[in-house]
Amino acid sequence: MLYQLLKRKLTAVIILFIICLCIMLAISSKVKLIEDITQMFPSENGEKSVNDFLKNSNFSDRIVINLSANNANLVIPDTLVEFSNILADQLNTKFKNDIKSIDYTTNDSLFQEVLSIIKHNLPIFLETKDYFKIDTLLTQNAISEKIKENFITLTSPSGLALKDFIVNDPLGLNYIVFKKLNGFQLDENIELFDNHFVTKDKKNLLLFVNLKSKSSETVRNTAFFKQLDQEIKEITRNSNLNISYFGETAITTANAAQIRKNKKCLNCYF
């Protein structure tokens, strides 16, 4: 029945099909694919402030580069350290327009600044139970023992490095706060080796790269990661080391590239 009806109205059916097709093409041509993944999140009240933080936070503009050996059984931490220094210098030179800074060693000046803040604001960091601990450190016996301990330390090879620390805090009161700061450690699997960030098994070394661009600037980041991949391939060509990277910016850029690819396929289809 339906077939017979369509057959009699074949011309009208064809015209209707062409009209529907034109409407679909017109609608699809106006579809705007947004590459900024934060646009997918709600924009109401509290959610909007979270979105603003994600878009403006420097944390999201950082990538982590991981150095490791192709053969994990033959990895030498000193080799990773030496290679990381070379890699950081090359990246800073070749990508000075894209990289803001690279954090791959400890910052001694920052550590001294933390020491100064704790020293001049110690009561702010203390809790009620901490004052009972301080009472035990201020007894005559405790002070005598601490002075002897400081003397032994200062006359040992490590005394050169710990001199300022002991002079500024001879009774070790600031150590109470330092123990609390250990609770802010983001990953217990990360430690220091020759002032570099390595995993506990000493098989991976990490560099934290701060980019000048935002994670939402996918066109600029696509060009950067393409050049970075070429640089990594060149650096590791005759090396037994492996370089990989990860981070929100890398993921967002890869997703944006896939979206652009899908958009091209969609346009070709229609």
For the stretch 193-219, pLDDT in tens is 888 888 888 888 999 999 988 877 888
Per DSSP, 217 falls in state: -
Once rounded to an integer, what is the mean pLDDT over residues 30-59? 48
- From CA 208, how far away is CA 66, in angstroms rounded? 9
pLDDT at 110: 62
Q: With 50 as the cut, is the pLDDT of residue 57 above it? A: no
Higher pLDDT, 144 or 37: 144
Q: Residue 62 — φ and ψ, nearest 5°?
A: -110, 140
Domains of the chain by residue range: 44-105+195-270, 106-192
With cut-offs at 50, 70 and 90, classify the pLDDT of residue 184.
low
Which residues 6+ apart lie within 8 Å of 28 measured at CB?
A: 266, 270
For the stretch 238-261, pLDDT in tens is 888 889 998 888 888 888 777 777
> Which of 198, 188, 189, 195 lies closest to 66, judged by CA?
198
Q: With 80 as the cut, is the pLDDT of residue 138 above it? A: yes
Tokens of residue 108, six digits: 């001694």
Q: Which of 85-89, 92-96, 165-169 has the lowest mean pLDDT?
A: 165-169
Written out in words, the top-level CATH class of the domain with range 44-105+195-270 is alpha beta
pLDDT at 46: 41
Q: With 90 as the cut, is the pLDDT of residue 95 above it? A: yes
Triad 142, 148, 151: Cα angle to 5°: 140
Tokens of residue 13, six digits: 């059916």
Separate counts of helices (H) and strands (E) for the chain? 12, 6
Which residues 6+ apart lie within 8 Å of 66 measured at CB?
A: 204, 205, 206, 243, 244, 245, 246
Higher pLDDT, 183 or 19: 19
Per DSSP, 181 falls in state: H
pLDDT at 141: 92
Q: Residue 172 — φ and ψ, nearest 5°?
A: 75, 30
pLDDT at 108: 62
